[in-house]
Amino acid sequence: MKEKLTITELFDTYNLPNIILYAGPIMIALAFVEMYISWRGQKGLYEKKDFIASLTIGIGYIIQGLFTKTLLFIVALWAYNISPLYIKPTWWSYILCFFVLDFCRYWAHRLGHETNFLWATHVTHHNSDKYNFSTSFRLSWTQQIKIIFFIPVSLLGFHPVVFFICHQIAVLYQFWIHTELIRKMPAWFEFFFTTPSHHRVHHAKNDKYLDRNYGSTFIIFDRIFGTFQPEEEQPIYGIKNPVKGYNPLRLVFHVWVDIFKNLLKARSLKESYAILFKAPGKYNPEDYD
């Protein structure tokens, strides 16, 4: 029988660790190991200022997470409580929840590339022209807006604790796929799971690679929805309109600033809508003269 929960009951009953917070030092250490391998092999995978910017953004995200963890719980709990559905927490419910969550993450990620104001919450992750473990630290401080995409997980009746654990594991999975050192995984793994090869394509600005491979943990959703692209030519990393400098605040907020400036100049609701909801780079002020 499903019982409604309060946020106080949830925190009093379950002492849930912030896995990402504890994993942070390990990920930073692995980034230094990769940096050393790159230096010894003269691979050029790291640039000092770029690394410091990524690390600063990542630390800011972790600090922010100490506060947004509660917000995530509140939203998940609200959706869970209003839903008539209930999936009892068992070992298989974690597996099912992870699949459902990854499906939601696919669409949140895809729309984050196809809608300008959502791109503002995600562009930070793409505005480096390097690709290494430290790139995974570049998580925007405004990406919590996309929490709305995960409400269906709780509405389906998954317990908030199940959702929270699956969500953190999904975020941690993203770390190891940000590397040039791992070229290919076994064919069966490449077919089902997102790998470094797949994700290098996603971070590339080569024309054939743009807006491809949105999968977080599973690449099968890209295969199903027609957004899959295998790695063929060498990826060129970054965004089409690069950000000058390494100021973390600019790297996090530059698209938000552009949106705000354009909204101030907008002459109609139609133009304002285009500024917010057209795909990145598709808004042209001259179309509204």
pLDDT digits (tens, 9 = 90+) for 153-177: 999 999 988 998 899 899 999 999 9
56, 203, 243, 256 from 148: Cα distances, Å: 27, 24, 28, 19
Report whether pLDDT(17) > 80. Answer: no
Mean pLDDT of the region 69-96:
89
Tokens of 127: 């505005």
What's the mean per-residue pLDDT of the chain? 92
d(CA 128, CA 151): 31
- Decide if pLDDT at 271 tops 70: yes
Q: How confident is the model at residue 103 (pLDDT cuts 50, 70, 90)?
A: very high
Q: Work out the number of other CB atoms within 10 angstroms of the CB of residue 206.
A: 15
Q: Which of 183, 79, 57 is closest to 125 using CA atoms?
A: 57
Q: Mind listing the pLDDT tens digit for each residue in 18-59?
A: 677 788 899 999 999 999 999 999 999 999 999 999 999 999
Q: At what angle do helices 48-82 and 248-265 cross, to 10 degrees?
A: 60
Position 247 confidence tier, pLDDT thresholds 50, 70, 90: very high
Token pair, residue 6, equals: 């309060």
Q: CA–CA separation, 155 vs 152, rounded Å?
A: 5
Measured N-to-C along each axis, helices 160-176 and 19-40 cross at an angle, to the nearest 10 degrees, of 10
Q: Are 142 and 73 contacting, i.e. CB atoms less than 8 angstroms apart?
A: no
Residues 6 or more apart whose CB falls under 8 angstroms from that of 190 comprise 184, 197, 198, 219
Give the pLDDT mean for 195-213.
Answer: 97
Percent of the chain's residues with pLDDT above 90:
78
Mean pLDDT throughout 238-263?
95
31 vs 15, 28, 46, 132, 179, CA distance in Å? Answer: 30, 5, 10, 8, 10
Question: Which pLDDT score is estimated for 22?
Answer: 82
140: pLDDT strictly greater than 70: yes
Instruction: Tell whether the model's pLDDT for residue 14 goes beyond 80.
Output: no
pLDDT band at residue 288 using 50, 70 and 90 as cut-offs: confident
Higher-confidence position of 1 and 205: 205
* Calpha distance 148→205 (Å, rounded): 28
Mean pLDDT, range 132-147, rounded to an integer: 93
Torsion sign over Cα 213, 215, 220, 225:
negative
